[in-house]
Structure 1
Amino acid sequence: MRIVFLGTADFAVPCLQALREAGHDLAGVVTQPDRPKGRGKRLAPPPVKETAQAMGLAVLQPEKIKDPEAIEQIKELNPECLVVVAYGQLLPKSLLEMTPYGCINVHASLLPRYRGAAPIHRAIMDGCQETGVTTMFVTEKLDAGDIILQSKRVIEPDMTVGELHDLLAGDGAKLLLDTLALMAEGKAVRKPQEEAEATYAAMLRREDELIDWQRTAQEIVNQIRGMDPWPGAYTCWQGKNLKIWKATVRPGNWEAMPGTVVNTDDHGLLIVGGDGQGVLVRELQLQGKKRLAVKEFLKGNSLVPGTILGCD
């Protein structure tokens, strides 16, 4: 099938690679413009652009996909189908109706749950035990199109968002190929989404990163897992941000103010949550410093039992 691929983020790369390996005719790749990145704010290409260029594919980077010039450039590629994965912009009706097979999307949740920009983060932060990927026909409304296929995946209790992201990206690539095969055979069944069951996974905000020690220990651990490796959950200590990594719940009933450090040893830092249970932290990262195991962190920092963590 002759395809124009629209994608930007790391999540989209396995899908692009799978299309090439399966022998689909990739007419071109559309991705977001290069953006400033890192401390030096140098322009950096999106992951999809790097992958596409390594494959020798033509790359388009319109600032706005709705611009008539961008639409015309895609039309000139004469695609039979548009495939959208983690692209980052809503497509206009003129693109959705451009091709014989339409426009399909790979989304990292079991729709209609977790529509929106951050479905993987939100699933872990909310303590979900299961998620998955969905292929659907794209409509003008965000992530609301008819479902074609879905694939489920268990979220393990200690799984981080980075680990789940990579697993779902692979699952999505396989589901995409299965979906295209069904479409080519005329066997792709459209299943409308149940609007009453729809939830929204909003883009992460800075306040999502701040740990509220009044929450239960499990909620705090879910937040930490859902921010690892990016952007990181943090608290404050001695006037500096302190990122918290690799945490688990330690059952108990500590009678101390939430956020209080009640024990420090080579195994970790034990901090009291809002329900009296413990959050056992195994890795820390002080502002401007490296991420360290607690044992190494304590060699250079005097974080002692009785310390109360939190930001004003």
Structure 2
Amino acid sequence: MSLRLIFMGTPDFAVPTLLELVAHGHEVVAVYTRAPKPAGRGMKMQPTPVEQEARRLGIPVLTPTTLKTPEALGEFRAHNADAAVVVAYGMILPQAILDAPKLGCFNLHASLLPRWRGAAPINRAIMAGDAESGVMVMKMDIGLDTGDVAMAERLAITDTMTAADLHDALAPLGADLMVRAMGGLVRGGLQLRKQSEDGVTYAAKIEKAEARIDWSRPAREVLRHIHGLSPFPGAWCEIATDGEPARIKILRCEPAKGSGTSGEVLDDRLTIACGDGAIRILELQRAGKTPMQAADFLRGTPLKPPARIA
């Protein structure tokens, strides 16, 4: 037995869930996603990853700018869906929309709720030094990620993981979890439990102003800050190239031995002193250029002691 579903999602993270629902025989009658935006050198209108996959699958796509009008509600109800599946959609669902599907709206969230409710759970978990993350299926209510939780899967976060790495690990894990949750819904056996009131934290949207690296922090905090913002927006510092300071994004690093004044270059392998300990830069990116390995960067811009970066 399958469900008649509305799917609501926008970025790459949501695509595996859409594909798995279709592969397991559920009838996705409509896909809601954000409207195309101009992107690339030619600033051509670029449909979202979810829209691209939905059109490939032959599923009708809707890109409303609001769900708060009577017209939007009427259109949503007309799909006569059993349930809606929501994955990183990017728009608030009003109560009338939440109430429209017979069995409710179910959200896949990339954190272990109630920790990291909100917009940037993957980034914030890494930046905070968390030992684990995960995905949860939640029956949505009007609050911000406050609904009752149905199922969860956990995943360890290592110090080698960037936000991109964790994103790519959680996306298929979440897709499998949502398929299992919808299977439970079909059978009438999906159990829901209220979220704990303890341990609530909020994953605020990442602001570009917080991306500058503070080398006075301990090495592990610097490492987690860098990895939590990689690849976007990218933690950055300034390195003197040809006598002029240039902004460089650091995309990947590792713990290293050594100590010195914060920001001091400790050797010829891009080992940088932090407030306590040191890190070694492994991958970085000049403004307007593609990412490169540290060894490739050093061939064109040799940095040795007593140089410093800021």
TM-score range for the pair, normalised by the shorter chain length? over 0.9
Match of 2:130 among 104, 109, 128: 128
Offset at 1:39?
Answer: 4.1
Offset at 1:37?
Answer: 2.0
For 1:87, the equivalent position in structure 2 comes to 89
Deviates more, 1:9-18 or 1:158-167: 158-167
Aligned mates of 1:288, 1:166 — CA distance in 2: 24
Aligned mates of 2:43, 2:301 — CA distance in 1: 31
Q: Which secondary structure does the structure 2 equivalent of 1:263 belong to?
A: coil
Aligned mates of 1:142, 1:179 — CA distance in 2: 21
Q: Which secondary structure does the structure 1 equivalent of 2:202 belong to?
A: coil
Match of 1:214 among 202, 213, 216: 216
Whether 1:241 aligns to 2:247 is: yes
What amino acid maps onto 1:7 in structure 2? G
Identity of paired residues, percent? 39
What amino acid maps onto 1:88 in structure 2? G
Aligned mates of 1:67, 1:211 — CA distance in 2: 44
For 1:73, the equivalent position in structure 2 comes to 75
Match of 2:52 among 50, 53, 60: 50
Q: Which secondary structure does the structure 2 equivalent of 1:262 belong to?
A: coil
Offset at 1:110?
Answer: 0.7
Deviates more, 1:149-158 or 1:46-55: 149-158
Offset at 1:30?
Answer: 0.4
Q: Which secondary structure does the structure 2 equivalent of 1:231 belong to?
A: coil
For 1:292, the equivalent position in structure 2 comes to 292
Give per-residue Cα distances to partners, 1:220-276, cap 9 Å, x unaligned. Answer: 111111122222111012332111122011134x2x320111111xxx31100011x
Offset at 1:308?
Answer: 1.7
For 1:147, the equivalent position in structure 2 comes to 149
For 1:28, the equivalent position in structure 2 comes to 30
Aligned mates of 2:47, 2:230 — CA distance in 1: 23
Aligned mates of 1:74, 1:66 — CA distance in 2: 11
What amino acid maps onto 1:241 in structure 2? R
Q: Which secondary structure does the structure 2 equivalent of 1:247 belong to?
A: strand
Offset at 1:186?
Answer: 1.7
What amino acid maps onto 2:19 in structure 1? Q
Q: Where do residues 1-312 of structure 1 align in structure 2 (5 Å cutoff)?
A: 1-238=3-240, 239-252=245-258, 254=259, 256-264=260-268, 268-275=269-276, 277-310=277-310
Question: Does the 8 Å contact 2:208/2:233 carry over to 1?
Answer: no
Aligned mates of 1:76, 1:121 — CA distance in 2: 37
Aligned mates of 2:54, 2:302 — CA distance in 1: 49
Question: Does the 8 Å contact 2:67/2:97 carry over to 1?
Answer: no
Question: Does the 8 Å contact 2:76/2:100 carry over to 1?
Answer: no
Aligned mates of 1:291, 1:180 — CA distance in 2: 40
Q: Which secondary structure does the structure 2 equivalent of 1:248 belong to?
A: strand
Aligned mates of 2:64, 2:81 — CA distance in 1: 18
- Provide the aligned length of Structure 1 versus Structure 2: 304
Aligned mates of 2:251, 2:39 — CA distance in 1: 23
RMSD: 1.3
Aligned mates of 1:38, 1:218 — CA distance in 2: 35
Question: Does the 8 Å contact 2:211/2:234 carry over to 1?
Answer: yes
Runs of 4 or more, structure 1, over 6 Å off, are none
Unaligned runs of at least 5 residues, structure 1: none
Give per-residue Cα distances to partners, 1:35-73, cap 9 Å, x unaligned. Answer: 122344332111100010000000000011223222221
Unaligned runs of at least 5 residues, structure 2: none
Aligned mates of 1:196, 1:213 — CA distance in 2: 33
